[in-house]
């Protein structure tokens, strides 16, 4: 039986889990660290009160070999496009290729 209270408001997974799953699928990272920085921005512009608005991603992937910093960031943005549009206010990206 469906709970009417949640039927119109589906439960969303934590954004950290979404980020991890999407970057893993898109980039097959050899290293991935995601930091939720939202507490540092509580009460500031972009804080939506969820505690999931500001993140730092450090990702190492072979997909970045030969790409500029901007090209690497574009790949991350493509993987997270709808989250960046709808749920993430700020995302700091540290992207490197293996061995860098």
pLDDT band at 5 (very low <50, low <70, confident <90, very high): very low
Angle at which helix 69-79 crosses helix 15-27, to 10 degrees, equals 120
pLDDT, tens digit, for every residue of 28-75? Answer: 999 999 999 886 755 565 556 566 788 999 999 999 999 999 999 999
Domain boundaries, the chain: 13-96
Query: How many other C-beta atoms lie within 10 A of the C-beta of residue 91?
Result: 19
CATH number of 13-96: 3.30.300.90, 3.90.550.10, 3.40.50.150, 3.90.230.10?
Answer: 3.30.300.90
Mean predicted confidence (pLDDT) in 18-35: 97
């Amino acid at each position: 039986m469906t709970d009417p209270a949640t039927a119109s408001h589906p439960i969303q997974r934590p954004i950290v889990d979404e980020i991890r799953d999407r970057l893993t699928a898109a980039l097959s990272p050899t290293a991935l660290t995601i930091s939720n920085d939202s507490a540092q921005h509580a009460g500031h512009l972009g804080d939506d009160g969820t505690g999931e608005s500001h993140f730092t991603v450090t990702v190492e992937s072979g997909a970045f070999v030969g790409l500029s910093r901007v090209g690497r960031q574009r790949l991350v943005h493509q993987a997270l496009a709808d989250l960046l549009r709808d749920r993430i206010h700020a995302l700091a990206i540290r992207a490197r290729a293996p061995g860098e």
